[in-house]
Homo-oligomer: A and B are copies of this chain.
Amino acid sequence: MTSVPSIDPRTGETTGIVAEETTPEQVDRICSAALAAAGPLEELGRAARASLLDDLAGALETNRERIVEVADRETALGAGRLHGELTRTCYQLRLFGEVLRDGGYLEATIDHAGDTPMGPRPDLRRMLVPIGPVAVFGASNFPLAFSVPGGDTASALAAGSPVVLKAHHSHPATSQLCYEIMAGAARRSGAPDGTLGIVHGLEAGAGLVAHPAIRAVGFTGSPGGAKALLAIIEKRPEPIPFYGELSSLNPVVVTPAAAADRGERIGADFAASFTLGAGQFCTKPGLLLVPAGPDGDRVVTAVQEAISGLEPMTMLNAGIAAAYQQGTDALRAALTASPADGSLPSGGTSRPGRAAPYVFLATAGDLPPEATGECFGPVTVIARWADEAELFAAVDELPSSLTATVHRGPGETVLPAELARRFRPHTGRLVFDGYPTGVAVSWAQHHGGPWPATNSQHTSVGTSAIRRFLRPVTWQNAPADLLPPELRDEYDSLPRRVDGVFHPKI
């Protein structure tokens, strides 16, 4: 048996043993319990599942202080950030309650029997149904918002799919604590046993993805981790959907008009964005494209000044700190050879477990591959461009990202429109005059993008995240008794499309 330790990243010391790694037999038992819960969880119905989500939010809030204390010890993210994360997760749980009560997410559609140019058509009724048990892999960088509690868990439970969680080794105590709080609340709320399960350990995670009871996987992590799990999925007799949120550069362009209008402020705000949470965000802006010339210089100077006083930052775990060191070493090697100024290290130097913020300078027309890949941590590359041709050529070569941002001058539209046109095929969110960090949870949010941002078209933030854990089924000529209530003629408390015409909720 291998023990799962809780490690304080501020000291590198083990503060306790959380659990033993989950054995294959235990994985099988947990997945089977999830499968057994799938029917009863769906049968609870939308109103009861909405209450369940409210109850989970309530339980997390009741235990807020304890959760934040344990999470801060394991992640060093600080109480302020962690309170914010928990607030976000509770908001998200309650928002999915609204989604359930609204019912539009079911896409309920009824076509009564009728004649068509191809002859008679049978009665057809379609809606989305839960996909079945879902494996959710906690992310290291959001212990309370993309981990045991978080968007994947909330959206899967809302869909009616039981969730088996893979605890992240970077915060196992936080994971176990949140799991126990949530599982207890679920039980008291009337959810079936098996609605929530948890496993610890790398092999247990692999076993989860291979288990026949698991019908989809939600994952936030590296492309390498995703490919390892996808290889397991491809060996299943029945491959299943894998929703990975993987890697993102998040380029930001400053137009000349924006630089002239507010160069210093953009530089300072950009520095705050790329160093937020020690740069450990999927939406961290990793590339800033700034025009050559004095206005652009003011942007660059402001970024450099903003980080020059910053102390090295404690990273989430030793592995991430080591990868950051490697990534910044590679950037330094690549950009030394460029015609630009090379790197500007911040005031502090890196030491084990900590990361000094860095800014590297480059030329947009001569970006090395190191400058266009994600480097997780408080580092960014500022690339200068001499004219629009150089800017567009650089933009067209960038990998796809979760976000792309344009800072424009007051009332400026021509260049921003052209940049949006070029970015749009390669991004999931177009941000204007803002920063990509801070992903609001709402109906209109989308958090996704072509590979390597994600491996699917779906979102992992916002209400449409529920769509990942549902699948369509059509009933043909079913007697009313055998239809789900939402597809019976007389049901009128959700929006439906009937015979091609959309009927909003009455």
A456 is an interface residue with CB less than 8 A from chain B: yes
Q: A445 to chain B: which residues have CB within 8 Å?
A: 111, 124, 126, 474
Is there a chain B Cβ closer than 8 Å to A429's Cβ?
yes
Q: A417 on the interface (CB 8 Å rule)?
A: yes
> Does A241 reach chain B (CB closer than 8 Å)?
yes
What is the chain B residue whose CB lies nearest that of A124? Answer: B444
Does A75 sit within 8 A of B, measured CB to CB?
A: no
The smallest C-beta distance from A294 to any residue of chain B, in angstroms, reads 27
> Of A321-329, A349-357, A374-382, A447-455, which stretch is located at the interface?
A447-455
Chain B nearest CB, measured from A148 CB (Å): 19
B122 in contact with A424 (CB, 8 Å): no
- The residues of B that contact A116 with a CB separation of less than 8 Å are 91, 440-442
Is A129 part of the contact surface with B, judged by Cβ < 8 Å? yes
Q: Does A23 make an interface contact (CB < 8 A)?
A: no
Cβ contacts A73-106/B at 8 Å (1 or 0 each): 0000000000010011011000000100010100
A25 at the B interface (CB under 8 A): no
Q: In the complex, what residues of B have CB within 8 A of residue A446's CB?
A: 126, 472-474
Query: How long is the Cα–Cα vector from A111 to B464 in the complex, in angstroms?
Result: 14
The interface residues of chain B lying within 8 Å CB-to-CB of A166 are none
A432 within 8 A of B: yes
Cβ-defined partner of A91 (8 Å) among B98, B107, B117: B117
Is the beta-carbon distance between B238 and A476 smaller than 8 angstroms?
no
CB distance from A402 to the nearest CB of B (A): 10
**A478–B430 touching, CB < 8 Å:** yes
A479: chain B residues within 8 A (beta carbon) = 413, 416, 432
B91, B124, B452: the one contacting A118 at CB < 8 Å is: B91
Interface residue A504 (Cβ < 8 Å from any Cβ of B): yes
A62 to nearest B CB, angstroms?
Answer: 16
Residue numbers in B under 8 Å from A430 (CB-CB):
473-476, 478
Q: How many angstroms from the CA of A122 to the CA of B420 in the assembled complex?
A: 18
| Given the contacts A424-B473, A431-B477, A477-B433, A502 and B504 also touching, CB distance less than 8 Å | yes
Query: Who on chain B is nearest to A478 by CB?
Result: B432
> A400: CB under 8 A from chain B?
yes
Residue in A239, A443, A444, A452 whose Cβ sees the most chain B Cβ within 10 Å: A444
User: Given B125, B425, B472, which contacts A457 in the complex, CB threshold below 8 Å?
Assistant: B472
Residues in chain B near residue A215, CB distance under 8 A: 425, 450
Does A312 interact with chain B (Cβ within 8 Å)? no
Q: How far is the CA of A445 from the CA of B123 in the complex (A)?
A: 10
Give the interface residue-count category, chain A. 35 or more
- CB-nearest residue of chain B to A429: B474
Q: Which residues of the other chain, B, contact A84 by a CB distance below 8 angstroms?
A: 118
- Shortest A440–chain B CB gap in Å is 4
Which of B39, B444, B451 touches A421 (beta carbons < 8 Å)? Answer: B39
Closest residue of B by beta carbon distance from A447: B474
With A91-B118, A430-B473, A430-B476: A110-B444 Cβ-Cβ less than 8 Å? yes
Q: Flag whether A505 is at the interface (Cβ < 8 A).
A: yes
Partner of A473 from B428, B473, B478 at Cβ < 8 Å: B428
Check if A13 is an interface residue, CB within 8 A of chain B.
no
CA distance A442 to B104 in the complex (A): 19
A residues 474-495 with Cβ under 8 Å of B? 474-479, 481-482, 495
Residues of chain B with a CB closer than 8 A to A110's CB: 444
Q: Check A443 against B497 for contact (C-beta < 8 Å).
A: yes
Report the Cα distance A88→B503, complex, angstroms: 27
A442–B121 touching, CB < 8 Å: yes
Q: Which of A397-447 contact B (CB under 8 A)?
A: 399-400, 413, 416-417, 420-421, 424-425, 427-434, 440-446
Which among A87, A431, A443 has the highest number of chain B CB atoms within 10 Å? A443
A500 at the interface (CB under 8 A from B): yes
A116-146 contact mask (Cβ, 8 Å, vs B): 1 or 0 = 1110011011100101100000000000000
Determine if A265 is an interface residue (Cβ-Cβ < 8 Å). no
A170 interfacial by beta-carbon distance below 8 Å: no
Interface pairs (25), CB distance under 8 Å: A84-B118, A91-B118, A107-B464, A111-B445, A118-B441, A122-B434, A124-B440, A124-B442, A126-B446, A129-B424, A131-B457, A238-B399, A417-B481, A424-B473, A428-B473, A429-B474, A430-B473, A431-B476, A434-B476, A434-B477, A443-B499, A445-B474, A457-B470, A457-B472, A504-B504
Nearest 4 interchain pairs by C-beta: A446-B474, A124-B444, A126-B444, A109-B444
